[in-house]
Amino acid sequence: MKKWYAVIGDPIEHSMSPFMHNLWMTSEGRDATYIPLHVSRESLRASFEGMKVLGCSGFNVTIPHKEAIIPLLDEVDALAEKMGAVNTVVRQADGKYKGYNTDGLGFVRSLEDVVGTSHKQEKVLVLGAGGASRGICFALWQEGYRDITIANRTVEKARAICLEMDPSVKACSLQQASDELGAYGIVIQTTSAGLNHSQFALPISLEHLANTAIVADIVYNPLMTPFLEQSQKQGATVVTGLGMFIHQGALAYEHWTTVYPDAKVVKQSLLEQLGGN
Ligand code: ATR
C-alpha cells in the first residue's frame, strides 16, 4: 500500500517540505507521498489520533507544535528530549511513534557542507537563545565543537541554555559579543531580528567581524539576509539557511527510509523557487 508522510503546522501553506520530500520520493521511485496538514493548536491531539488511525508512516512537526507534540508521543529520542523540541516523528516497526529533532544536526551538516569538518576548534558565537539556538548549540556540542558562546538580548535565556550544557559553554550580552566579535571564527545568527529586511535589523554590529570568519544564518527566505550580506561585504565566508532546511529534511527522510537523500537533487529547484542561483 502507498505510504504517506506529512508536515503539520499552523500556518503551513508556505512550507517547502512537501515539494522537497516528494521530489526525493519520486526520484527514488518510492510508492509514497508527503502532504501538508494544517493543524491548529487546539486540534493537535485529535489530528495526531486521526493520523495514527490512517496509518501515517512519519511526519514533520513545525511551528507551533514542536514542544506540544512531545507528551503525545510513545517515545522521544534522548537528544530531542534535551532540546525540548521534536521536528520529526517516525512510526516504528512496533507501531509506536517516536520523536526526533533533526534541526540542530541539519544545521551542522549544512555548515560542514560549506566549510568542511576542520573548524571544530574555532571559537563559535551563537546569537540568540530561542528554540533554534538551543537545538544548534546541543548539536554543535554533540558534533565536537567545544568553544561555544551564546549571546542574547535577554542574557538570562542564554545562561539557561549554558546551565543545561557543559560548564565551558559561555553566555554574554549582544553588546559584549559585538565588542569581541573579532575573536570568533564561526558566527551563527539564530535571532528573529534577521526576519526584518531592514539594515537596522542586524542583532549586533559587524564592525569587528574578522574577514576570515564563517558566518551562518538560519533564515533561508530571503537567502541573503542583511546579516549575511554585510558579513560577505566584509570578506566572511557565508552559509545561508537553505542548507539547514535541506539537511533537517534529509535527516528526517533517513529516519523514515534509512536512505540519506541527495541534497543536490533538491537544492537547485529550491534555489529557483527562492530566486537565488
Ligand atoms: P526560535 O524558536 O526561532 O529560535 P524564539 O524562541 O522566539 O524563536 O527566539 C527568538 C530569538 O530572537 C530570541 O533569542 C530573541 O531574543 P530574546 O530572548 O531577548 O527575546 C531574539 N530576538 C528577537 N528579536 C530580536 C531583536 N530585534 N534583536 C535581537 N534579538 C532578537
- Looking at residue 77, which CATH number applies to its domain? 3.40.50.10860
Q: Is any ligand 1 atom within 6 A of the Cβ of residue 51? A: no
Quick one: pLDDT at residue 1? 84
The reply to whether 129 and 164 lie within a common domain is yes
117 close to ligand 1 (CB < 6 Angstrom): no
**In this structure, are 181 and 64 located in the same domain?**
no
The answer to whether the CB of 21 falls within 8 A of the CB of 269 is no
Q: Do 149 and 270 lie in a common domain?
A: no
Into how many domains does the chain fold?
Answer: 2
55: left (phi over 0), alpha (psi -120 to 50) or beta: left
Do 132 and 169 belong to one domain?
Answer: yes
Instruction: Tell me, using a 6 A CB cutoff, whether residue 153 lines ligand 1.
Output: yes
Distance 9 CA to ligand 1 centre (A): 20
pLDDT digits (tens, 9 = 90+) for 245-272: 999 999 999 999 999 999 888 999 999 8
Considering the domain architecture, whether residues 178 and 69 belong to the same structural domain is answered as no
Mean pLDDT, to the nearest integer, of 83-97?
96
Residue 43 shares a structural domain with residue 120: no
What pLDDT, in 10s, does the model give residues 11-33? Answer: 999 999 999 999 999 999 999 99
Determine whether the shortest distance from the Cβ of 130 to ligand 1 is under 6 A: yes
Residue of the nearest CA to atom 11 in ligand 1? 191
Kindly report whether the global pTM for this prediction surpasses the value 0.75: yes
Q: Could you tell me if 215 and 93 lie in one domain?
A: no
Do 53 and 172 lie in one domain? The reply is no
Is 123 among the residues known to form the active site? no
In terms of domains, do 213 and 114 share one?
yes
Q: Which domain holds residue 45?
A: 3-101+243-274
Q: Is the CB of 106 under 6 A from ligand 1?
A: no
**29-34: long-range pairs with CB below 8 Å, 24+:** 30/3, 30/257, 31/2, 31/3, 32/2, 32/3, 32/4, 32/5, 32/57, 33/2, 33/3, 33/4, 33/5, 34/4, 34/5, 34/6, 34/7
Whether 119 and 258 have beta carbons less than 8 Å apart is answered as no
Residue with grid cell 560548564, as numbered in its chain: 167
Options 2, 66, 123, 157, the catalytic residue: 66
What is the predicted pLDDT for the residue at 193? 86
Ligand 1 atom closest to the CA of 134, numbered from 1: 4
